[in-house]
Amino acid sequence: MLQKSLPVTLNSTLSAVKPVIAVRNLNHYFGEGALRKQVLFDINLEINAGEIVIMTGPSGSGKTTLLTLMGGLRSAQEGSLKILGEEICGAKKLQLTKLRRQIGYIFQAHNLMTFLTAKENVRMSLELHDEFLNRDINAQAIAILETVGLADRVDYYPEKLSGGQKQRVA
């Protein structure tokens, strides 16, 4: 369970007027009725643009649950969770989908399409956004890969990439 006494380390490199993530008195539960179990307890946290956050805790403490909520992969149940200024406590599926289009979330398991090259994997994600459809998507995908230090790996398939390289493609 993620208790408010759990160490959360913030290293501020930039500051923003408004936090990109603001969590207030967040509680979360799994199950229903007699099987209902609280997994997050009164979490309070602000993350500003440019900050690096390191979250630590034992297995089962709620780290993944909190990240899932902050990534808009599920709706927060109790308290307040604002992402980019938008409250997502009690959010419906459509609101979460709109939110996810504005943020990036990289899973530990990279989920790349193994039959596509690095460039093709990046291109596929760009095709989901209307603003890229009238541009040279291949050039945009290559530019993104160059930005993360993979200019020499654009035509590599995931099986030929290291774990860190797969994360950067994702």
Interval 58-78: pLDDT, tens: 878 899 899 989 988 888 899
> Which range of residues forms the domain containing residue 128?
118-169
Higher pLDDT, 110 or 27: 27
Tally the domains of the chain: 2
Judge if 40 and 85 occupy the same domain.
Answer: yes
**Exposed (0-12), middle (13-18) or buried (19+): which is 25, by Cβ within 10 Å?**
middle
From CA 170, how far away is CA 125, in angstroms rounded?
9
From CA 81, how far away is CA 68, in angstroms rounded?
12
Judge if 77 and 123 occupy the same domain.
Answer: no
> Region 16-38: what's the mean pLDDT?
90
Q: 125 lies in a domain?
A: yes
Pairing label, strands 8-11, 52-55: antiparallel
Which CATH number covers residue 70?
A: 3.40.50.300
Taken in order 93, 107, 66, 85, the sign of the CA dihedral is negative
pTM (global) more than 0.75: no
Higher pLDDT, 129 or 108: 129
pLDDT tens per residue across span 111-142: 899 999 999 999 998 888 888 888 899 999 99
From CA 130, how far away is CA 133, in angstroms rounded?
5
Question: How far is the CA of 64 from the CAs of 60, 70, 116, 126, in angstroms?
Answer: 9, 10, 28, 26
Cβ neighbours of residue 74 closer than 8 Å, sequence gap 6 or more? 68, 96
Q: Which of 57, 58, 159 is nearest to 110 (CA)?
A: 159
Q: Single out the residue in 100, 128, 159 at which a domain terminates.
A: 100
Which pLDDT score is estimated for 109?
A: 67
Q: 109 lies in a domain?
A: no
Judge if 158 and 87 occupy the same domain.
Answer: no
What mean pLDDT value characterizes the chain? 86
Which pLDDT score is estimated for 14?
A: 47
> Region 102-108: what's the mean pLDDT?
75
Say if residue 26's pLDDT is above 70. Answer: yes
